[in-house]
Amino acid sequence: MDKRYLFVDGEVITVNNENQVVEAVAVQGSRIIAVGSTEDILQLQDDHSEVIDLNGRTLMPGIIDSHLHITMYGTNELSVSCKNDSITSIQDLLQLLKEQAAMTPSGEWIRAWGYHDQKIADKRFPTKEELDSVSTDHPIIVIRACSHISAVNSYALRCASIDKNTPNPEGGIIERDGDGEATGLLLENAHMQMFQVAAFSKDEIGEAHAVASEHFSKAGITSIHDASGYGTSNLRALQQDSAKGIIKQRVYAMGGALSKSENVVKALLNSGIVTGLGNDRFKIGPVKVFLDGSSSGPTIWTREPYTSDSSDFGVHYFEQEQLEELFIPAHEQGWQITAHAQGDAAINMLLTCIEKANKLYPRKDARHRIEHAGIAAPDLIERMKIQGVIPTPNPAFLHEYGDGYCVSYGKRAEQMYPLASYLEAGVPAAIASDCPVTDFSPMRGIHSALTRLSQNGKVIGEKETISLLDAIRMYTINGAYASFSENETGSIEPGKLADLIILDQSIIQSKVEGIPFVQVEFTMIDGEVVYERLPEKANS
Ligand SMILES: [Zn+2]
């Protein structure tokens, strides 16, 4: 008989339709079997029960992060991070690379990411010779934060068969010294080709997924919507690592890629599958493309010019017709469609496409999405409502990048990730971290949703702040809805899958400024404890 857990005497945030907060919940096997008062739940005690006294602490549904990149985060974790505050010079970088080399078998790659030449004392990239001084037994690559430039050692150049006679690839530059020898600095397409050579192996990706999944469990994340990055092989890796139990979170996998995403979408449209294939641990999500650039770049595509530069409207990667040629057939086939759309012009393009698709091929409950939906102006929110579209806003971006937004976009920054307007319009926004772009900490995300505080302490658009319980809904049931899983996950209700977390205190009683420091003590996915840090337990 399956073990029964009785969680009693707590603050159980159910996220049910009435937003009830109750005292206790019972779990058996993979399911929640009852919710109610401590007295009611203790009636269910039997020989197979473990009673856990919550002592007033919060128990709530597991967090659903509706847009992050597990493979990218995990592989970053296996590499040297140059975002690390302790790297202020090339000497610091070389030291960390040496430590990494000491732990890495000969012949395997040493990778560093997030390097920013202008942010370190030397204001340049390391040379091939400097990287050779770290190791001549490992290929080494140091990738700039923009992911368009890298510096490599001699071993890496040999791996890519680059020597004096190698011509520059189309759209790329192999930097050379006075004698025509490669210096190790590779730009644009020359970098992209090296990046392919330095690609992570299947085993390394499995290791990356394991590390990432463990970190997510500790933070209380029980479901992820993976926003992809590496195309169809990435989908396969996610499916296999989920089946092997390497990834503990439920995965809703988007089909796309960081570059040439339309090719991945076309391959998926030709594959014969559609959104929804899979099971409650791994499910195929929407097809996804990139419509514009980065909010912090700043390169998002706007309807009015940037406040910081009246000739700048950002970049866009699609024309309207081109997007419709790709996505209207996807909609017709039964795919959920979505795109990275940060600027109001990009959001408009995607909504125009969705409006046409819904008109040409009416389909009930398509639940098309908009990733990020940064500058979601009131007219765009109205159109989202009419089309039943789900945006996946990133409130924590306001903390991380908000001060820059005010410079780039002026007043429009106050309209970015407008959670209160979504609530008012009845648009089911699902909060996402976009990790590794920002910290995946749900407490950080909730705090930002409640305060909209920038790093400099500025409140960006106070009227778009929301309440704690609304933020929790956007991090749980709305994410379930965005992945067609609201009947199985996203709330604490009898019959649902037992995905739940316990915090170290009552989050309702905690002060807003304390929320980023609230700790997760216990994480359960599918009735299985995947993380535990319980100080006290009453067994019976
Ligand atoms: Zn993303």
pLDDT digits (tens, 9 = 90+) for 8-66: 999 999 999 999 999 999 999 999 999 999 999 999 999 889 999 999 999 999 999 99
Confidence of residue 250 (pLDDT cuts 50, 70, 90): very high
C-alpha to C-alpha distance for 487 and 493, rounded to whole angstroms = 10
How do strand 369-372 and strand 337-341 relate by DSSP bridges?
parallel
| Ramachandran area for residue 524 (φ above 0: left; ψ -120 to 50: alpha; else beta) | beta
CA of 391 to the centre of ligand 1 (A): 13
Neighbours of 211 (CB within 10 A): 18
CA of 46 to the centre of ligand 1 (A): 46
Task: From 402, 396, 494, select the one nearest 449 (Cα to Cα).
Answer: 396
Specify the CATH number of the domain 79-197: 3.10.310.70
Query: Would you call 83 helix, strand, or coil by DSSP?
Result: coil
Given this model, what pLDDT does residue 157 score?
Answer: 97
- Ranges of H-type helices in 80-123: 90-103
CA of 57 to the centre of ligand 1 (A): 33
Task: Tell me, yes or no, if the pTM score tops 0.85.
Answer: yes
Given this model, what pLDDT does residue 535 score?
Answer: 60
Strands, E assignment, 69-199: 80-81, 110-115, 140-144, 149-152, 172-176, 182-188
Domain regions of the chain by residue span:
4-61+495-532, 79-197, 200-482
Task: Reply yes or no on whether the pLDDT at 282 is more than 60.
Answer: yes
Neighbours of 399 (CB within 10 A): 22
> Under CATH, which architecture does the 4-61+495-532 domain have?
Roll (2.30)
Encode 489-532 in three state secondary structure: CCCCCCCCECCEEEECCCCCCCCHHHHHHCCEEEEEECCEEEEE
> Under CATH, which architecture does the 200-482 domain have?
Alpha-Beta Barrel (3.20)
C-alpha to C-alpha distance for 406 and 409, rounded to whole angstroms = 5
C-alpha to C-alpha distance for 142 and 79, rounded to whole angstroms = 10
Q: pLDDT (tens digit, 9 = 90+) per residue, 106-127?
A: 999 999 998 988 889 999 999 9
Query: Would you call 212 helix, strand, or coil by DSSP?
Result: helix
Neighbours of 107 (CB within 10 A): 10
CA of 485 to the centre of ligand 1 (A): 21
Neighbours of 424 (CB within 10 A): 11
CA of 189 to the centre of ligand 1 (A): 22
CA of 500 to the centre of ligand 1 (A): 25
CA of 288 to the centre of ligand 1 (A): 10
